[in-house]
Amino acid sequence: MQRILVLGALGALLAGATDTQSARPPVLLTYSGVTGGALCLARADGSHRRRLTRGKDRAPSWSPNGRSVVFSRQVGTRSRILVANARGRVVRRLTPAGAFADPTWSADGKRIAYVSREGRSRIVIVGMTGRVLGQVLAALRTVASRPSWAPGGQRLAYAEETQVERQSGGTSRIVVVNADGTGRHVLAAQASDPAWSPNGSMIAYVSSPSRLSDISSVVVAKADGSDVRHLTRTGVGETRPAWSPGGQLIALTRIAGGKSTIVVVGADGSSERVVVGARGSGGIDPAWRPSVLLPKAQRRACS
């Protein structure tokens, strides 16, 4: 009997060791550092911060397999859309330098949508080689921003901002449209920065009294725009909500007193935590990297 117990304990120990070795790598938070602008990686709690890229980079979005990241890089007064591998090396240039922003990867990994403000503002959809597959024109006299793919890849949500009017200060609304440009409808008014949940049942976005207001908050609603509830109520500015791959967490940028921080909060509004504070460079534009092994590389620390 004693021998059986010893063998059982040894088996349990080996099983525990196997589980530890096979444990999935952590989901990583990606963000843009305010100082210098390079993209950084961190654990979901803000620890183990490491630099991924070296340029003035914004708006990262990871491929579903976690092997590539698309982002915009400032080049003088202009910007271009680039794709880098998981080591941070640029492997593809999707656009020349111009007025391009806010790239986002589709859930099937085959398409990227980004904003073009070359001429009339629009959402451009390209394949992995950069070949244009389609476009969605913004309404006349509006500027498009922050496209977000629905998980099925058939629809896009994005924000349209009207030109600033002296009397009203302009407006911003969230529009949902089919990827071929049909089926357009307004989901929410005085709103921006839409982000669909991973399962497509919910959408997070930023709500504000007006486009020029310094106060904004992240809200979560059903995909049809109903059942709106405030995730945060801080009385400061908030932007760029981003769902974690499992849908349990939402990261966002909070702006107060001229400082930008990255906050992670439960999708139900619980357990809020500042994970990238303003003492270092601060952070903006959070995104999530899927739970896949990160290739080994020498990476400098991000403050």
Per-residue pLDDT of 195-213, as tens digits, reads: 999 999 999 999 987 667 7
pLDDT per residue over 225-246, tens digit each? 999 999 988 889 999 999 999 9
Q: Which residues contact 96 (CB under 8 A, 6 or more apart)?
A: 80
CATH of the domain at 75: 2.120.10.30
pLDDT for residue 255 is more than 70: yes
**Domain tally for the chain?**
1
Portion of the chain with pLDDT greater than 70, in percent: 87
pLDDT per residue over 50-86, tens digit each? 999 999 999 999 999 999 999 999 999 999 999 999 9
Q: Range with the lowest mean pLDDT among 31-35, 152-156, 247-251, 252-256?
A: 31-35
Q: Which of 47, 50, 91 is nearest to 69 (CA)?
A: 91
Q: What is the pLDDT of residue 165?
A: 53
CA 250 to chain centre: 10
Asked, for residue 121, whether it belongs to a domain, the answer is yes
Asked, for residue 23, whether it belongs to a domain, the answer is no
Q: What is the pLDDT of residue 6?
A: 37
Q: What is the pLDDT of residue 214?
A: 79
Asked, for residue 255, whether it belongs to a domain, the answer is yes
Asked, for residue 128, whether it belongs to a domain, the answer is yes
Confidence of residue 24 (pLDDT cuts 50, 70, 90): confident
pLDDT for residue 303 is more than 90: no
Q: What is the pLDDT of residue 154?
A: 93
* Higher-scoring residue by pLDDT: 197, 171: 197
- Helix then strand then coil, in percent of the chain rounded to 5, is 5, 50, 45
pLDDT for residue 219 is more than 90: yes
Confidence of residue 162 (pLDDT cuts 50, 70, 90): confident
Confidence of residue 163 (pLDDT cuts 50, 70, 90): low
pTM: 0.88
| Cross-strand partners of 23 | none
What is the span of the domain harbouring residue 235? 28-289
State the average pLDDT for the chain: 88
Contact call for residues 43 and 262 (beta carbons, < 8 A): no
Q: What is the pLDDT of residue 16?
A: 35
pLDDT for residue 39 is more than 80: yes
Confidence of residue 20 (pLDDT cuts 50, 70, 90): very low
Burial code (b: 16+ CB inside 10 Å, e: under 16) for 104-125 equals bbbeeeebbbbbbbeeebbbbb
Asked, for residue 12, whether it belongs to a domain, the answer is no
Q: Which of 50, 57, 49, 99 is nearest to 74 (CA)?
A: 57
Asked, for residue 53, whether it belongs to a domain, the answer is yes
DSSP string covering 51-87: E---SSEEEEEE-TTSSEEEEEEEETTEEEEEEEETT
Q: What is the mean pLDDT of residues 26-34?
A: 93
Q: What is the pLDDT of residue 171?
A: 79
Asked, for residue 180, whether it belongs to a domain, the answer is yes
pLDDT per residue over 97-114, tens digit each? 999 999 999 999 999 999
Confidence of residue 1 (pLDDT cuts 50, 70, 90): very low
Q: What is the pLDDT of residue 234?
A: 84
Confidence of residue 17 (pLDDT cuts 50, 70, 90): very low
Cα torsion angle, 193, 194, 196, 202, sign:
positive
Asked, for residue 48, whether it belongs to a domain, the answer is yes
